[in-house]
């Protein structure tokens, strides 16, 4: 952790986020009474933000001993990390801007007491456990995974028969990806780009690679700011959806010379590569909001750079190509909403982290009975989180009458 003197500022930020996280707070209050995680050691590899701090405090209130490391070298809020150590009694291993070696050393430190439960965002922790810390695997009851890319990796592990303990795919809960991936990433990705560049989005051509949950959210919000949005996809259904949502869809080769800002959100590799950089306009801006920094082919961009790379502003690096055209890479190609902004708003993380906390409780209770594969969040948890969120927003909804219940579960009534 960087500096304990930052702790007071971290604490006020954690409190501010807490104000927007009423569902998680109600779980924390119950956990404090019931201690469902009593005696369990939990290793978490998550973006160390003020929202994550509230999750860590919830798990600790439930009786867990929590060790936390970062799930990305650029996403840590150092003041929050300091406050968690100083005020929360939680061991944190994370410094914003840490190099790759330190990043992995911190993962090992989060694991070194031998966890019973793991929480991951991108599956780096699980990957380290299965490659370098296999002796800890028998002690683990279960784990959770926060993001799409992590679920993809873990599902591959399960398919190959190498996943050594059950994982709950928190990302796949409806109260997670419908809101966090779409509205959270939608807003915070543009927030990161705007904070890094101060560009006026209105009138610009914004090319969005990937029209999944995150891409839809960013496209929707970019349009709201007045951008002309172009979508690139490899899935015909998603591309069709983008077109009927009113966006242009085309291959990246065609979009590359048109775009002013490019945003990758695919979970895939090298979506932007040398053939695209070479045709881009002077001053094109590249940002990634997908989980790993592989969506933009950074080694290719470095190879093409003819001059020394210039840092123009925090999180803006200028690459000058042989043609004299300049490309501005934001946040070193790491998720821009966490690198240059603060990640998702707390109100949306309230639901994601309520899923995390309730899934940890479920694993503590039932993990030993679960198969070593990737499991969905139990639907009852999903529905309960939606119900609580609506309640805290003061929104009431209808309930089925018994006549309607019979009608919807029967087949005899027709024309
Ligand atoms: N920045 C954040 O805070 C944040 C939040 C949630 C998820 N994520 C990450 O964002 C990424 C996307 O998540 P999602 O939930 O939207 O996933 P998703 O699976 O819903 O969408 C990904 C889309 O990308 C498309 N795609 C794949 N390869 C492509 C290519 N080469 N060109 C164009 N399109 C391509 C897929 O067809 C799919 O429609 C993942 O890495 C996820 O972990 C980031």
**Rounded to the nearest whole angstrom, what is the distance from the C-alpha of residue 238 to the centroid of ligand 1?**
11
Strand order through the sheet with 316-320: 248-249, 228-232, 205-209, 261-264, 284-288, 326-330, 316-320, 310-313
Q: Closest ligand 1 atom to the C-alpha of 216?
A: 16
Both tokens assigned to 299 = 């080694």
CA of 40 to the centre of ligand 1 (A): 33
Taking the C-alpha atoms of residue 356 and residue 381, their distance in angstroms, rounded to an integer, is 10
Residues of the chain with pLDDT under 50: none
3-state secondary structure string across 1-54: CCCHHHHHHHHHHHHHHHHCCHHHHHHHHHHHHHCCCCCCEEEEECCCCHHHHH
Burial of 134 (0-12, 13-18, 19+ CB in 10 A): exposed
Report the separation in Å between the CA atom of 213 and the middle of ligand 1, taken as the mean of its atom positions. Answer: 7
The atom of ligand 1 lying closest to the CA of 214 is 16
Tokens standing for residue 217: 């959210």
Beta carbons of 139 and 114 less than 8 angstroms apart? yes
* Per-residue pLDDT tens digits for 124-164: 999 999 999 999 999 999 999 999 999 999 999 999 999 99
Distance set, CA 302 to CA 291, 320, 327, 384 (Å): 21, 10, 11, 48
Question: How far, in Å, from the CA of 157 to the mean position of ligand 1?
Answer: 19
Which of 265, 341, 348 to mutate to test ligand 1, by most ligand atoms within 8 A of the CB atom?
Answer: 265
Tell me which of 290, 343, 345 to substitute to probe ligand 1's pocket, judged by most ligand atoms within 8 Å of the beta carbon.
Answer: 290
Q: How far apart are CA 250 and CA 242, in angstroms?
A: 10
Strands 228-232 vs 284-288: parallel, antiparallel or unpaired: unpaired
The pLDDT of residue 307: 83
Sign of CA dihedral 401, 405, 410, 411: positive
CB crowding 252-267: b at 16 or more within 10 Å, else e: beebbebbbbbbbbbb
Calpha distance 333→294 (Å, rounded): 8
Residue 261 near residue 328, CB atoms below 8 Å: no
Residue 287: phi, psi to the nearest 5? -140, 150
CA 275 to mean position of chain CA atoms: 29
The CA distance from 376 to 169, in Å, is 5
Supply the pLDDT for residue 250.
Answer: 98
**Helices then strands, each counted (H, E), the chain:** 18, 15
Residue to probe by mutation, ligand 1, list 170, 174, 210, 333, most atoms within 8 Å of CB: 210
Cβ–Cβ < 8 Å for 331, 192: yes
Q: Which atom of ligand 1 is nearest to the CA of 268?
A: 28
**pTM tops 0.85, yes or no:** yes
Measured from CB, residues less than 6 Å from any atom of ligand 1 are 147-149, 177, 181, 185, 209-215, 232-235, 238, 265-268, 271, 289-291, 335, 337
| Strands lying side by side in the sheet with 65-69 | 91-93, 65-69, 41-45, 117-120, 142-145, 167-169, 374-376
Of 70, 65, 56, nearest to 28 by C-alpha is: 56
Instruction: Tell me, in angstroms, the distance from the centre of ligand 1 to residue 335's CA.
Output: 12
Ligand 1, atom 20: closest residue by C-alpha: 212
One DSSP character per residue, 272-303 reads B-HHHHTTSPTTEEEEE-SSSTTSB-HHHHHH
Q: What are the structure tokens assigned to 232, written together?
A: 């690139």
What span, in angstroms and rounded, lies between the C-alpha atoms of 326 and 76?
29
* Whole-number Å distance between alpha carbons of 181 and 72: 17
């Amino acid at each position: 952790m960087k500096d304990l003197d930052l702790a007071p500022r971290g604490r006020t930020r954690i409190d501010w986020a807490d104000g927007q996280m009423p569902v998680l707070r109600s779980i924390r209050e119950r956990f404090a009474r019931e201690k469902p995680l009593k005696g369990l050691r939990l290793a978490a590899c998550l973006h160390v933000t003020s929202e994550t701090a509230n999750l860590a405090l919830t798990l600790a209130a439930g009786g867990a001993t929590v060790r936390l490391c970062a799930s990305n070298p650029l996403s840590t809020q150092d003041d929050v990390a300091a406050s968690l150590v100083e005020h929360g009694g939680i061991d944190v291993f994370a410094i914003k801007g840490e190099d790759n070696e330190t990043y992995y050393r911190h993962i090992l430190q989060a694991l070194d007491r031998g966890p019973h439960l793991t929480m991951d965002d991108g599956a780096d922790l699980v990957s380290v456990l299965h490659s370098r810390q296999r002796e800890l695997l028998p002690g683990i009851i279960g784990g959770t995974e926060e993001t799409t890319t992590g679920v993809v990796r873990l599902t591959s592990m399960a398919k190959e028969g190498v996943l050594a303990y059950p994982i709950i795919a928190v990302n796949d809960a409806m109260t997670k990806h419908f809101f966090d991936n779409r509205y959270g990433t939608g807003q915070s990705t543009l927030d990161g780009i705007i904070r890094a560049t101060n560009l006026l989005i209105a009138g610009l051509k914004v090319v969005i690679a990937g029209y999944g949950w995150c891409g839809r959210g960013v496209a929707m919000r970019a349009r709201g700011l007045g951008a002309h949005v172009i979508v690139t996809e490899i899935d015909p259904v998603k591309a069709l959806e983008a077109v009927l949502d009113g966006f242009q869809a085309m291959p990246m080769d065609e979009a590359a010379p048109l775009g002013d800002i490019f945003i990758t959100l695919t979970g895939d590799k090298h979506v932007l590569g040398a053939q695209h950089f070479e045709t881009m306009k002077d001053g094109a801006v590249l940002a990634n909001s997908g989980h790993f920094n592989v969506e933009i082919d950074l080694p290719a961009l470095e190879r093409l750079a003819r001059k020394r790379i210039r840092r123009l502003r925090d999180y803006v690096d200028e690459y000058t190509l042989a043609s004299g055209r300049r490309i501005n890479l934001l946040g070193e190609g790491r998720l821009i909403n966490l690198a240059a902004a603060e990640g998702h708003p707390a109100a949306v993380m309230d639901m994601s982290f309520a899923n995390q906390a309730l899934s940890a409780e479920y694993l503590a209770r039932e993990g030993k009975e679960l198969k070593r594969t990737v499991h969905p969040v139990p639907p009852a948890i999903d529905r309960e989180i939606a119900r609580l969120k609506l309640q805290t927003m003061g929104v009431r909804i209808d309930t089925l009458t018994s006549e309607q219940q019979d009608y919807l579960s029967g087949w005899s009534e027709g024309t």
